[in-house]
Chain A
Amino acid sequence: MTRPSRLPSRLAAAALLSLSVGFAFALACASNAGGGGVIEVGPDAQKQALRALIEAEPGDVVEFGPGRFEFDTTLSLDVADVTIRGAGLDETIIDFSKQAAGTGGEGLMVTADGFVIEDLSVYNTRADGIKVEGTTGATFRRVFVNWEGEPRTENGAYGLYPVQVTDVLIEDSQVRGCSDAGIYVGQSSNIIVRRNKTLENVAGIEIENSTGADIYDNETWGNTGGILVFSLPELPVKAGSQARVWGNKIYDNNLPNFGLPGAIVSEIPAGSGMIVMATDQTEIYENEFKDNKSSHIAVISFTSTGREYDDPDFEPYAEGIAIFENTFEGGGDAPEGDLALAVAEMVGTPLPNVIYDGVENPDRLVDGEVPAQYRVYFDGNGTIIDADLATALSGGQPNVVTDAAAFAGSLPERPQPIIIGEEGTAATAGGAL
Chain B
Amino acid sequence: MFRTAALLLSVLLLGCGTADWSADEPPESLAAYGLFDGDPRQQRPADGVIPYRLSTPLFSDYATKHRFIKLPEGTAASYQPEEVFDFPVGTVIAKTFSYPAADGLQDLVETRILLHGDDGWIGLPYLWNDQQTEATLDVTGGARAVTLAAAAGPLPAGHEIDYRVPNQNQCKGCHRTKDRELLPIGPRAGLLNADFAYEVGERNQLDHWREVGALADGPATSEAPRWAVWNEPQSGTLDQRSRAWLDINCAHCHNPEGPARTSGLDLRYVQTNPTHWGVDKSPVAAGRGSGDRLVDIAPGDPDGSILLYRLESLDPGEMMPELGRSMVHAESVALIREWIETMEQGPTEAAG
Which residues of A are interface residues toward B (Cβ below 8 A)? Answer: 47, 50-51, 53-55, 72-74, 76-78, 99-105, 109, 111, 125-128, 133-134, 153-158, 163-164, 179-180, 184, 186-187, 232-236, 259-264, 307-310
Closest to B293 in A: A262
Known interface pairs A101-B316, A127-B287, A134-B178; 18 further A-B residue pairs with C-beta atoms within 8 A, sorted by A's residue number: A50-B167, A51-B140, A54-B140, A55-B139, A73-B164, A73-B167, A76-B170, A78-B180, A101-B314, A102-B319, A103-B316, A104-B173, A105-B317, A126-B315, A235-B284, A259-B288, A261-B293, A263-B290
Q: What are the residues of chain B within 8 A of A109 when measuring CB–CB?
A: 169, 173
Verify B316–A127 contact, CB threshold 8 A.
Answer: yes
Q: What are the residues of chain A within 8 A of B275 when measuring CB–CB?
A: 234, 310
A selection of 12 A-B contacts at a CB cut-off of 8 Å is A101-B314, A102-B323, A104-B322, A111-B259, A134-B262, A154-B288, A164-B262, A186-B285, A187-B262, A261-B290, A263-B283, A263-B287
Verify B262–A262 contact, CB threshold 8 A.
Answer: no
Verify A156–B287 contact, CB threshold 8 A.
Answer: yes
Closest to A134 in B: B178
A259 to B287, CA, bound (A): 8
- A-B pairs, top 7 by smallest CB distance, nearest first, are A157-B287, A262-B290, A126-B317, A127-B317, A126-B316, A76-B169, A50-B140
Chain B 288-324: CB-based contact to A (< 8 A → 1; otherwise 0): 1111111100000000001000000011111100111
Q: What are the residues of chain B within 8 A of A236 when measuring CB–CB?
A: 256, 261-262, 264
Verify B294–A261 contact, CB threshold 8 A.
Answer: yes
How many pairs of A and B residues are in contact by the CB < 8 Å rule? Answer: 163
Q: What are the residues of chain A within 8 A of B168 when measuring CB–CB?
A: 54
CB distance from A151 to the nearest CB of B (A): 12
CB distance from A34 to the nearest CB of B (A): 15
Interface of A is mostly: loop
Verify B164–A100 contact, CB threshold 8 A.
Answer: yes
Q: A76, A128, A155, A259: which has the most chain B beta carbons within 10 Å?
A: A76
Verify A47–B142 contact, CB threshold 8 A.
Answer: yes
Closest to B259 in A: A133
Verify B264–A262 contact, CB threshold 8 A.
Answer: no
A158 to B286, CA, bound (A): 10
CB distance from A73 to the nearest CB of B (A): 7
A264 to B326, CA, bound (A): 29
A236 to B325, CA, bound (A): 28
A263 to B252, CA, bound (A): 24
CB distance from A77 to the nearest CB of B (A): 7
Q: What are the residues of chain B within 8 A of A154 when measuring CB–CB?
A: 288, 315, 317
Closest to A76 in B: B169
Q: What are the residues of chain A within 8 A of B286 when measuring CB–CB?
A: 157, 262-263
**Contacts A125-B317, A126-B315, A126-B317 hold; do A54 and B167 have CB atoms under 8 A apart?**
yes
Q: Is B41 an interface residue (CB 8 A)?
A: no
Q: What are the residues of chain B within 8 A of A261 when measuring CB–CB?
A: 290, 292-294
A217 to B324, CA, bound (A): 42
Q: What are the residues of chain A within 8 A of B167 when measuring CB–CB?
A: 50, 54, 73, 76
Closest to B163 in A: A102
Q: Is B221 an interface residue (CB 8 A)?
A: no
Verify B172–A78 contact, CB threshold 8 A.
Answer: yes
Q: What are the residues of chain A within 8 A of B283 when measuring CB–CB?
A: 262-263
A180 to B180, CA, bound (A): 28
**Contacts A51-B140, A232-B284 hold; do A104 and B172 have CB atoms under 8 A apart?**
no
Chain B 123-154: CB-based contact to A (< 8 A → 1; otherwise 0): 00000000000000001111100000000000
Q: What are the residues of chain A within 8 A of B325 when measuring CB–CB?
A: 101-102
Chain B 260-280: CB-based contact to A (< 8 A → 1; otherwise 0): 011010000000000100001
Verify B317–A234 contact, CB threshold 8 A.
Answer: no
A260 to B275, CA, bound (A): 22
Q: What are the residues of chain A within 8 A of B172 when measuring CB–CB?
A: 76, 78, 111
Verify B281–A234 contact, CB threshold 8 A.
Answer: yes
A234 to B256, CA, bound (A): 12
A76 to B143, CA, bound (A): 16
A126 to B322, CA, bound (A): 11
CB distance from B112 to the nearest CB of A (A): 15
**Contacts A104-B322, A186-B262, A236-B261 hold; do A51 and B316 have CB atoms under 8 A apart?**
no
Q: What are the residues of chain B within 8 A of A157 when measuring CB–CB?
A: 285-289, 317
Closest to A99 in B: B316
Q: What are the residues of chain B within 8 A of A262 when measuring CB–CB?
A: 282-283, 286, 290-295, 306
Verify B170–A104 contact, CB threshold 8 A.
Answer: yes
Q: What are the residues of chain A within 8 A of B324 when measuring CB–CB?
A: 102
